[in-house]
Structure 1
């Protein structure tokens, strides 16, 4: 099938490349000429494992191409996906649908035949109705059907998530659109990936419900970690003990400095705003947002407390800056609040991240950026592990602490064992676990 993907950002580029890998003909459209120029020479606008190779293979096979010309891409497409950004709107926290609605207008002006228009961007309930209204207003004589097909991609594992999904949610109100979507996803359907057909509004809400639930799960185990510290229990064992219950499951039960990234913060906030508009309070999600916001700053205080309560004139090293490993995404990363808390307290901050430092430099210019974990340790009174990159899991601790002024590690991801640290003479602080025996 011929597919036009409007938006060559994270969702659009990954989805477009994967659809092309299924054998479809895909054109990714983006208004950013520099991004399109970079893609033409194989340079990815984001870091995602395996993406550059997937794009290269499908471009070479003439199944995937890039353009800024939406009209030419959309005019002959069987399906047009809207995969543009929906950031939180300044001032009120609602999802900003400016790009979605503009894409709808541009699509309506370009199409020449019956086409399925698919909203893949994360959008509030009822957005598909407005997209449909715009299409009918601009192109009243063309049969354009609107479908909601939310994405469920984890940064760092997006290609695997797309090709081996837990489910594919499709909100469509007519059989022709369902047939087109079945054809698009046929390679996955044949592999028994479940296609869940719903109403359009149900599909839109399902995306927000999923992210809000996962955010709540993270926040729950983080609060349990605080209680574990107070009573002398081990949150890792608590998480395992409840996660082995199939009704709960083990994923998203890893205590840490709070969630961040491009989805959970903005989607939980947008869900709250939707609930507010419909006068349907969501107290659990509201508490989740409040607790998570407070936790990030609290992790900065945790580091300061571990250093005796006074960091003025001292150096703190941070290992990891992105909100999770295997991405360069710094949006709402816990490190932003942690760094600010340390700087406000008078500390000097040195940091290293395998992929996120270029972005971090624009957001945290007062940090000293280093070329590796051992460079971070030079002259530091404490090292804090903020992101659980694999290369931080087996550090040469003797070498690391030998470069430090004081042997102190604050492990916000619980990568190490407290007893092992004690044997090495390292002052060790972690999250939700008892002191070394």
Structure 2
């Protein structure tokens, strides 16, 4: 019988072993009392199983508000497994099992889901990315990392103003452009008008140069609306669709994957809700498996030396996770990590070093647009930084013979990188 298992960081006033028992019972066959129909045979067949318990420390105060009190709050790591037959390879039902009512259990004063191991049945039953890194490189016509940027201002530009900026960026040699996640299908810049205006520019550029810049249009919406949006993108000759994976949910993402023949760019808007506290939430290595199984080709992982709260080692772990096999067996369903947030030429080599390959998108806003030589020089400098990273040449050495890179190193402050 195949099983899936989850790893939790837990704190409890009644001890980790007790908390593990409560969690396993609540999330499978049990409740607060033993039931008449909860036979030993039923528990053996369908009950959760405690696979490991490790005590890691104690605290004198609870990490989170809790109705249960104790003189000492024990902390530890527990691994729980369930038979795959409980849920089948259904992603929403998997989530209800490993991340359901357990977060509000009174006997647990902190709980964070940090690991998830799935059998091959999930990889076989769920579609996974249609394109992944290999397909994205092919569609974009780019062998190295995709040099990208985000439309700014995030909102407020008209469709024609957006297209004019896209023309500037395409002329600068950019590989990838995306809508900001805040740019929806609003009245000031309707999606249909934006798609029409932007694709006229990109199709004309492709006719002149042979290069079609990949543009990720934000089509986040209700399911049937996303289907219509995806169809519109395909008819217009677009090459990427973007969705905010948390708002649309696993079923929404899976439904889009079934009808969309373009790479799906997954933005994790709202991520801090799950990640910022060490005492509650769900770690990115868990979430990204589910988003990949549901069909995301690209996933944002923040950036090295970013403007948000995640340290570099967390960003590195997230980026590597996106490229690792999603299950123990079956298709790997690898996706493409997207580095963004305050990125400049300085972060290119560390980003590549984290992965050991060029299968990533590197998005820079100010790192391109604020180059003293203009956007074209900004794109060239990032490409020079990527070439140096691939060849193992230190960036300041590479800049000696490349004025665009040299100017970028002078213009942008060297960040503190803790890797």
TM bracket (short chain): under 0.3
Larger strand percent = 2
TM-score normalized with structure 2 length? 0.23
TM-score normalized with structure 1 length? 0.23
